[in-house]
Structure 1
């Protein structure tokens, strides 16, 4: 349905709009102060429809819009593609000043539609893709939706800036800056779904559901020609197509793979394959940066098989891919340029804003992708997430971990040992230490009221025996190894395997020592952790065993430093600490990071808070001149994002920012598995 609101002479619109304004104020007061409605002995549910009907009656009094008058508001329902025009003399939304920090946010929620089918596999012209989808009822109409970020990455849909999470403008083989299609969208569980029902009819897509699988098929397309050209900023490759079609980009380390659902003439394939023999590049545990030799022209290799054409493009040094579509004639444009990132500002859900752009520092610019989160939204929850729900041992791709935990958004978090896959830093969830802090490194703590604390964190634990001996516990559920005493609780997992040779394992149950066991060689034997106690391990500290004979009663005393960290149920460690109270407080030495780590340039993940209480989680990648920002540059970049407190997280190949089922900042082919992360959970009101 297209709604047009346009003033016209011949009617006193001032009076009409005055009535609407008064009713709008009345509606807002009813929402903000429901108690006053109860006092008047009238139900909100009975009043609200009356007000909405009044709105409708007043709007119906307005004259029809002139055909030549620009449309102010458009919404796609039964229609398929509409022009979004800019009103002359009015500022664009992007040009308006930002809202004040004390601006009141009012969230409106509707009853979620009835979901009738859903699944996680889509067959796109016969090719299986992991992509969440749903079908729901609107009246008697069956609507089909697919995950928005997944649709962007698998169908080739370009998601445009949006300030309404229920409406997502997109571009797909349409004119830039003048024409877009608006998909209705809804957040359900961990995903945001785009309603493609009407658009599919216009685009000629066939939608079919068999069990938990959605099948999307389109008319066969053909690549008519491939052209190359040199631009001042880099290289351009253009595929001329006979019709719009699906396409995907796989952005690897030194190679981009563009897959198009279209056949290519054998002469095209033969011509391009003569340039260079095909090189197959597998997943790499490295940062996604271009390290190829300088080239004036990219090397292109072409494959075509069963209505699918694949281009492999070697990146010229310092260049990345920007791919977009154009109509009349239909073209897929592939640019290789240093400033490839496209700016985005999308309200993805209430309280979750997706941002990305190039941010300049001195003589270079870094591509930055970040989420700005309102932690005080009653619909959001933040929790540490791990690679395994039952143990702190292990790693998994961030995508897999976030999907398993059903998080809407996530970022990799703390450090870990890649050899034994154990955490190296603080992880606390629901007031339980899954892994204790180490080396007085930086950490972030929070609660469900939206309060945060960032600082350097230590945990002091003491094992107090019945004979008044006080034995310091250095680490809790940690993969960090040092001579002394460490403790492993059921929160660590069902078992503990010694990390060094000849540890002594002390079994404590119901606050009493029940067993003393030799640990043997490192990594050889797993010792069960009692559910009603814990294990104490003595590393190169055999003298303490005399104070822990079988039958000895023990208790644990512990506290954090600073002490106010104790009051937060959730904590994640990283380091170094970057910002405190707007100042750069970087001190990698005091947090015992190596000189090489402190000085290197690398992809980075970071987390911070703003002056108005928002949370920022961000991923920073390479510029066109080097591998990524230094720690100091990361602090400066966080300042530019608006953070007043900030913490560096694990980076390099671990860096990853997840939203709605996909990584936003990099190809999953270049992302290494991680041990833990921060999950953001969005659940609609039932």
Structure 2
């Protein structure tokens, strides 16, 4: 009998590397609170590295640029359509895999426990070139390698080496450079300058330099500096409260920045701050505040970070710029500035001649669901499809004037100045035919929706002095409800309305429940959570005095105090 051949050596079991998560970045000598996700077993070279999009823009120098094909993400010659990049959620942030982007420029990694170190050797500045004529506000820095470019509060940090002579040239241009180790800080330029990174040769382009030759003068502590502003000092003498304090919830200390006003005494109005020409796009908080003349402002409601469109209620002077979603918390007010808090839905009904009725789910919203949504000119002059299967009809003077197929919506269709665009998604049939008469009626689930000004967020934290936190009722996930994060809150007590930001005082950031309990300690009776995390920001006298992640964030909307 012939013995059978020996069995082949078993093939080793191949297992996918388990991702490693952390919440701290070491970048350019700074420690940053930020979620990250590493895929791969190598401690120094990831197969995938997922970082929040806001961190890439604010701490690395990535740019979001518009092109004919759509919005691009760019960094030192690498370009990709944002819509083509895989995305995943990291602690409620939009994450992008940038392992190849960073490795291609010589970035080095090392992870240890909860911390991820990211290093890039600081290049030398080989030349400074100031534009002339129409480009006089442009400065090009020629480099011998790529550099990290970070926005930290009000300052712009460049991870490069400059000579004393070059620093003198920057001062002569009206900038205020400060050198520490291998970082050159341009004080006060965190939101003033737009940036672009280029390769072959390596360059950083700074746009927006002042031509007046005046260097900004700011103290090192932005909050203390804001208290020296003459207008703010005058308001404080009339009773405006502007302070920061530590409040303990159990054993956890929280740092709370707060601005409190009796608007009648201080002569201030509370105003929603949002784009005027259309709802797509993100802006620094000062870019929303300055056109409205806001002396103090905080970031507002939620938004889609990739599409840069609102996800919740924004109503200004009686016009819905974006409608409420998911029965989420909202605050409404009129000229008396007394705030009304509650949870809000908007009921819209389209009635076709002959009596058939259709419910229109959302108004001017980036929240995409099967069924119908309505858009008017507050959304912008053009609507482009937000999902893959859409058709629409245009209503002018109560009559369906045109219909639009999927291809037309992908290209973009105009929204009439006096009319509506009704969009049907995910196979929903159009509710009316060309030429038919229709009427559209809108009602609110809560009286606060009838106020001329409304801002949505969620969850609702306090009502009449009681904790009313119920995030599930407002459509928030369990992970969102339980995580700690910097917070932005609009609130009131018996005598003042309050704009507040909260974060951990040297430790972990507050949960929503901890935020509610801290606010009760301050005597707050009604409070609404707004967008938080990296969006959290407080601007006083055009000075960014607090940010959630140390980054000057771009946001979709805000709320501020404006002189009457």
**Which residue in 2 is equivalent to 1:618?**
500
Question: Where does residue 559 of structure 1 map in the other structure?
Answer: 443
- Which residue matches 2:425? 539
Aligned-residue Cα RMSD (Å) equals 3.4
Distance 2:477 2:334 in 1: 32
Query: Are the counterparts in 1 of residues 344 and 449 from structure 2 also a CA contact under 8 Å?
Result: no
How many Å apart are 1:542 and its aligned residue?
Answer: 3.7
Residues 425 and 438 in structure 1, CA contact (< 8 A), matched pair in contact too? yes
Moved over 6 A (4+): 340-346
Distance 1:667 1:625 in 2: 13
- Taking the aligned partners of 2:397 and 2:306, their CA distance within structure 1 comes to 33
Contact in 2 for aligned 1:655/1:671 (Cα 8 Å)? no
- Mapped to 1, the partners of 2:549 and 2:562 lie a distance apart of 21
**2:146 is the counterpart of 1:283:** no
State the distance in 1 between where 2:220 and 2:372 align. Answer: 58
Contact 1:344 / 1:357 at 8 angstroms: preserved in 2?
Answer: no
* TM-score normalised by length of structure 1: 0.50
Task: Note if contact 1:341-1:358 (Cα within 8 Å) is conserved in structure 2.
Answer: no
Contact 1:495 1:526 in 2 (8 A): yes
1:334-373 equivalences under 5 Å are 349=235, 350=238, 352-373=240-261
Partner of 1:608: 491
CA contact (8 A) 1:446 1:568 kept: yes
**Residue 415 (structure 1) aligned with residue 302 (structure 2):** yes
The answer for the alignment partner of 2:457 in structure 1 is 574
Aligned to 1:664: 545
C-alpha deviation, 1:466, in angstroms: 1.1
**Counterparts in 2 of 1:309 and 1:558: CA distance versus 1, 3 Å:** closer
2:273, 2:475 → 1: CA distance?
Answer: 25
Selected match of 1:310 from 179, 195, 198: 179
Shift of residue 505, structure 1, vs aligned partner: 1.3
The superposition leaves residues 227-283 of structure 1 with CA deviations (integer Å, 9 ceiling, x where unpaired) of xxxxxxxxxxxxxxxxxxxxxxxxxx999xxxxxxxxxxxxxxxxxxxxxxx97532
**Partner-residue secondary structure (3-state), 1:451:** coil
CA distance change for structure 1 residues 650 and 498 in 2, over 3 Å: closer, same or farther?
same
Q: Aligned match of 1:487 in 374, 388, 410?
A: 374
| 1:107-122 alignment, distance < 5 Å | none
In 1: Cα distance, 2:226 partner to 2:250 partner: 20
Deviation, 1:616, is: 0.7
How big is each residue's C-alpha offset from its partner over 1:545-566, in whole Å with a ceiling of 9 and x where there is no partner?
2x4111111111121112x224
CA distance in structure 1 between the partners assigned to 2:268 and 2:362 by the alignment: 32
Question: Matches of 2:399 and 2:220 in 1, distance apart?
Answer: 68
Is 2:500 the partner of 1:633?
no
- Aligned to 1:608, the other structure's residue is in SS state strand
For 2:117 and 2:304, the matched residues in 1 are separated by 27
Residue in structure 2 matching 1:394, options 260, 272, 281: 281
* Offset of residue 641 of structure 1: 2.6
* Deviations 1:308-360 (CA, angstroms, capped at 9, x unpaired): 7533599xxxxxxxxxxxxxxxxxx999xxxx999989755146321112222
1:475 offset after TM fit, Å? 0.2
Report 1:193-592 matches (<5 A). 282-283=149-150, 305-306=167-168, 310-311=179-180, 349=235, 350=238, 352-377=240-265, 379-386=267-274, 388-520=275-407, 524-543=410-429, 545=430, 547-562=431-446, 564-592=447-475
Structure 2 distance, partners of 1:673, 1:602, is 17
Q: Extract unaligned runs of 5+ from structure 1.
A: 1-252, 256-278, 289-300, 315-332
Distance verdict in 2 for CA 1:378–1:441, change over 3 Å: same
Deviation at 1:540, TM superposition (A): 2.0
1:561–1:313 Cα change, 3 Å: farther
Aligned partner (choices 521, 528, 536) of residue 647 of structure 1: 528
2:240·2:266 contact (CA, 8 Å) conserved in 1? no
Shift of 1:653: 0.9
Q: Deviations over 1:149-186 (max 9, x none)?
A: xxxxxxxxxxxxxxxxxxxxxxxxxxxxxxxxxxxxxx
Q: Alpha-carbon deviation of 1:637? A: 1.8
Unaligned 5+ residue runs, structure 2?
A: 1-115, 119-145, 156-160, 172-176, 184-218
Question: 1:510 Cα deviation (Å)?
Answer: 0.6
Structure 1 window deviating more from structure 2 (552-561 vs 571-580): it is 552-561
Partner-residue secondary structure (3-state), 1:571: strand
- Give the CA deviation at 1:389: 1.6
Q: Assess if the C-alpha contact under 8 Å between 2:226 and 2:540 holds in 1.
A: no
Identify the residue that residue 298 of structure 1 maps to in structure 2: none
Distance 2:391 2:338 in 1: 41
Cα deviation, 1:514-551, whole Å, max 9, x if unaligned, reads 111103387x31211011211000112443x2x41111
- How has the CA–CA distance of structure 1 residues 652 and 583 changed in structure 2, closer, same or farther, with 3 Å as cutoff? same
Higher Rg: 1
Change (3 A) 1:281 1:549: same
Cα gap change, 1:285/1:309 in structure 2, threshold over 3 Å: closer, same or farther? closer
Is the Cα contact below 8 Å between 2:226 and 2:541 reproduced in 1? no
- Partner of 1:438, secondary structure, is coil
List per-residue Cα deviations over 1:564-621 (Å, max 9, x = no partner). 2244110000000000111111111111111211111111100111022x11111112
Q: Secondary structure of 1:653's partner?
A: helix
Kept in 1, the 8 Å contact 2:534–2:549? The answer is no
Q: Is the 8 A contact 2:532 2:548 kept in 1?
A: no
- Contact 1:343 1:356 survives alignment (8 Å): no
Q: Hey, what's the Cα distance between the residues in 1 that align with 2:340 and 2:506?
A: 35
- In 1, the alpha carbon distance for the partners of 2:362 and 2:233 equals 41
Give me the whole-angstrom Cα distance separating, in 2, the residues matched to 1:667 and 1:645: 23
Cα shift readout 1:18-77 (whole Å, capped 9, x = no counterpart)? xxxxxxxxxxxxxxxxxxxxxxxxxxxxxxxxxxxxxxxxxxxxxxxxxxxxxxxxxxxx
- Checking the alignment, whether the CA contact within 8 Å between 2:226 and 2:545 is kept in structure 1 is no
- Work out the CA distance in 2 between the residues paired with 1:667 and 1:385: 19
Are residues 310 and 643 of structure 1, via their aligned partners in 2, closer, same or farther at CA, if it must alter by over 3 Å? same
